[in-house]
Amino acid sequence: MCHSTPAANSGPVWSPDDKKKPSPANPDGAKNIYRPDILETIESKIAELDAELRALSLDIHAHPELMFEEHHAHDVLTAFMIKHGFEVEKHYHLDTAWKATFSHGSGGKFNDVQMDALKGIGHACGHNLIAIAGVAVACAIKSAIEKFSISGTVLLLGTPAEEGGSGKVVLLKKDAYKDMAACLMCHPAPGPIGSVSLSSCLALQRIEVEYFGHTAHAALSPWEGINALDAAVLGYNNISALRQQLRPTHRVHGIFEGRDWAPNSQAYFNHDVKSCFVRAPTRAEAEATVKRVVPCFNAAGLATGCEVKVHVGGSVYDLRQNKALGGEVANIILSKYGDIDYEWGIKKLPSLHPGFAIPTILNGGNHTPGFEKAAATVEAHYACLDVSKALAATGVRVLIDDEFMAEVKRTFEEDQ
């Protein structure tokens, strides 16, 4: 996941060279699946859409777009949803966000999808797979609603800018998730063959630091300059020293970006360390670590004579997997499709965001060129469809099983 904690893997990571195929870890559990007739309808619908979903995934993968620029993905995904009978609102609150709705009577609403790529390495986090998973889940639930005359609403949100722009947070603040009963999505990652992970995800706090120096001629009069690059390097090194005193579960990382740079100037007038991320298991822990990181930047400015501006930007909560939703998905996966890595999302409503394993090369995890290639494989496609079936069946149960929904709400409130 894009800011995940490692799952406690139950086996070796799935490799492209593996001949073994995903298989259910507990096939005898199939007799305990809730409404197997509904699951059969879901499986049939997703099988029917298989070729279309594969083409959609490869189309998005072949057209990587950065945060808030997902225009092609917006257009092809909304066209797909219109074709399959959903009412679609394009450019929903944001230019590349969208909403697709299907209603039959009244009832719960849920589902989510993300679409953006990574700078320089395309869909190296597999958002093409996340996109088709959301589409598959929504269409499968719609099929079950129609066949069994279930009262409810499925709402699919196209959410841009997961990679750095917190598109979901923006939409949450604009009430896009208002009145949703639950939110379901998934994310590809390395893992054992056919496994689904119910691990958490680190909270994140963004920091941007600007150092303002003074240019001078590098050969003629370097003593007249104030070197903003030196300040940035010192700030980076201060954080490297701080890491020894940070807990192993905390992360601090960032990049340098310069403005008006030139090799024959001893100092750069304006040098940024942008998109410095502080991560920790909880938001409270992340905020506590930020208080230790900011003095590292200020000290670098003091040592070099640079003016310092520290901007503490947006943050996101740690992911909270809803236990009731997760338990339902786990039962279906174990009984029908694969295995589970246990390690017990959106803080505002009950949610589930499982990871699902796809075949990856050694050191080819998320945000690498190897993962970008893995996200386009047929094995990744079918792993995505399997977890989509489990999510869709769980979503239908949210709509029709009042006792189950009460348990979903109880576990959500217990986790606050």
Q: What is the pLDDT of residue 3?
A: 47
SS3 content of the chain, % helix, strand, coil (to 5): 40, 20, 35
Residue 28: CB atoms within 10 Å: 9
Split at pLDDT 50, 70, 90, the class of 1 is: very low
Tell me how crowded residue 327 is: count the other CB atoms within 10 A of its CB.
20
Decide: 140 and 45 in contact? Cβ < 8 Å.
yes
Signed CA dihedral, 189, 190, 191, 193: sign only = positive
- Measured in degrees and rounded to the nearest 5, phi and psi for residue 226 equal -125, 115
Residue 414 gets which letter from DSSP?
H
pLDDT (average), residues 280-288: 94
pLDDT at 107: 65
Rounded to whole angstroms, how far apart are CA atoms 28 and 36?
A: 14
The residue-averaged pLDDT of 101-108 equals: 82
Count of helix runs (H) and strand runs (E) in the chain: 11, 14
Half-sphere exposure (Cβ direction) of 45: Cα atoms closer than 13 Å: 24
Reading the block at residue 274, the tokens are 């942008």
Closest by CA to 185, choosing from 204, 210, 157, is 157
394 within 8 A of 325, measured Cβ to Cβ: yes
Query: Which amino acid is residue 306, in one-letter code?
Result: C
Mean pLDDT of the chain: 89
Paired with 71 in beta bridges are none
Q: Which residues of 57-68 are buried (b: 16+ CB within 10 A; e: fewer)?
A: bebbbebbbbbb
Parallel, antiparallel, or unpaired: how do β-strands 152-159 and 195-197 relate?
unpaired
Q: Is 70 exceeded by the pLDDT of residue 105?
A: yes
Higher pLDDT, 112 or 153: 153
pLDDT tens for each residue of 56-85: 999 999 999 999 999 999 999 999 999 999
- In this structure, are residues 42 and 140 in contact, taking their beta carbons and an 8 Å threshold? yes
For 21-67, the pLDDT digits (tens) are: 999 999 999 999 999 999 999 999 999 999 999 999 999 999 999 99
Q: What is the pLDDT of residue 6?
A: 41
Check residue 199 and give its pLDDT. 84
Q: What pLDDT shows up at residue 225?
A: 87
